[in-house]
Structure 1
């Protein structure tokens, strides 16, 4: 028995006539009749009562028809699913984003992904620091990361997407808020709010290196894990912060943003995933991210 026998039987059972079933199947009637007899012989039951004018289903045939249709439907669905998986149209992915991408990229990206890959089930984790993203990639907690390089890990594919200039976020009533731009040396002696050093934030290293190059001894007063918390403290007048420009999407009351004028005042945004992850739906997701960002 094979699927061909099931298709033959369903055609005869639905047409109630061997001639019409043969026409439907684009085959001659004798081999069709022979195939049905072989099927009945293998099953050991009579499925069809034949008369000179039409064919009727036995009770066993009625039951077999129901299951045969179900089996053929499952086979068709399996084939369709396999084709959609191969095309990257179905699957499940979790994306992890650094704080700035959470605000500037994720709203548009989530909408674009749902439009272009409606069969893929997406989950999102925002406000992740890079070390947490790397660990999550390795353990499978996330599948794709929008992060800040550098990443010295040969087990990951890291593709730069864009360069974001750095801004100074400061209380709206701060003395420097009246300037159109700020130089790093002007932050000497000013309380700073930075991303956490304990959690090995990339931005922590970027900020300290930039101030060091400008000859400024940083006066760090607060370290935080989330960008939203950092800006909340700025709004509260507890200090100023150096942030990537996309953070300005968080138009928090009481916070002013001014460009930081330094040769190295920028950071990269990249998309990353494990080298051994080459599923079609993951690759299509990366393509959507690349096109959008």
Structure 2
């Protein structure tokens, strides 16, 4: 249906829109203005899309469609580059094993899905799994002991690429026989009235601090709490009556437990792949892109914000 649309159309038009002119784009691309004009005209005639308006001076201004085109075209060209880099790495035998970490707070379904995708792409390349805290996984990737990891955000190491894969709502975990379990949703004040179970701060210190801030914003001040180091331990403490816990929606629960949302808030926990910006296995970005496509029908559980600007790590925020 769109066989006429070639990569050169997207590359040329992206440069034209970025530089807002044909002359500057031609110089940057080392081609001629007539060549760019011909490709731009061909794209417009075949697609019916108007990406820009051109003034008498030759300068152009973007239409709403042009603004959308820039983001989409960058993603398309990036996917092409990632695909070629991955194929070259496979051809040259660069990927012999993959050392993949996974945080205990991350959904194991993501690890299993990535493992299956990797085995499909590289059946002869083994994965060496490592399970640890987010902080430890970050250190091991930065030092080169790991190739990639699935962690919960935030991650502050500027040497790492942070690629969000999923966002899940935080819900309250409580005993199924608790009096508040009869409510469809809990109020923030309900959390203040009962002892609380939290993950140990060392699991992800930044996430822990942010969670306490969010609780304080709705009037819940946590001074003392029970600490767990693993989702199983957290459920065990709740089951034994040590309080409520905030957990990822969709977590497999003990038969004696249940979950309820918190009314009036939109708290989420974000899960991402992390790997070094420089020196990572070239198959990793392509695998993540393929995995996103495979998981996309079931991933949008929370609202996705735009990528944060500035010089910070390339990532989404931890909690909405």
Q: Which residue of 2 aligns with 1:244?
A: 248
- Aligned pairs for 1:135-154 within 5 A: 135-154=139-158
CA offset at residue 221 of structure 1?
2.7
Closer/same/farther in 2, CA of residues 88 and 146 from structure 1, 3 Å limit? farther
Counterpart check, 1:115 vs 2:120: yes
Q: Distance in 2 between matches of 1:209 and 1:86?
A: 49
Larger mean CA deviation between 106-115 and 264-273 belongs to: 106-115
Number of the residue aligned with 2:200: 196
Matched residue, 1:290: 292
| Matched length | 209
Deviation at 1:202, TM superposition (A): 4.3
Partner residue of 2:69?
A: none
Q: Match for residue 52 of structure 1?
A: none
**Any conservation in 1 of the 2:106–2:152 contact (CA below 8 Å)?**
no
RMSD of aligned alpha carbons: 2.5
* 1:165–1:245 contact (8 Å) kept in structure 2: yes
5 Å-filtered alignment, 1:4-43, equals: none
Q: Which residue of 2 aligns with 1:40?
A: none
Q: Which residue of 2 aligns with 1:218?
A: 222
Which of 230, 233, 252 aligns to 2:234? It is: 230
Residues 120-165 of structure 1: CA deviation (Å, up to 9, x unaligned) = 2112233x33212211211233211212222222200111223211
Given that 1:166 and 1:266 are in contact with CA atoms closer than 8 Å, whether structure 2 keeps it comes out as yes
Q: Distance in 2 between matches of 1:205 and 1:120?
A: 39
Q: Give the TM-score taking structure 1 as reference length.
A: 0.63
Unpaired runs of 5+ residues, structure 2, are 1-86, 296-320
User: Contact 1:159–1:271 (CA<8 Å) still a contact in 2?
Assistant: yes
TM-score normalised by length of structure 2: 0.58
Max Rg structure = 1
- How many angstroms apart in 2 are the aligned matches of 1:261 and 1:222? 24
Contact 1:95 1:142 in 2 (8 A): yes
Give, in whole Å, the separation in 2 of the partners of 1:286 and 1:179. 39
Contact 1:193 1:221 (8 Å CA) reproduced: yes
1:210-241 CA-partner distances (Å, limit 9, x unpaired): 21011112253311221221112112222110
Distance in 1 (alpha carbons) for counterparts of 2:105 and 2:290: 19
Residue in structure 1 matched with residue 275 of structure 2 by the alignment: 273
Q: CA, structure 1 residues 292+130, in 2 after alignment: closer, same or farther (shift >3 Å)?
A: farther
What corresponds to 2:212 in structure 1?
Answer: 208
The partner residue of 2:101 within 82, 96, 100 is: 96
SS of the residue aligned with 1:132? Answer: helix
* CA separation of 1:83 and 1:154: change in aligned 2, threshold 3 A: closer
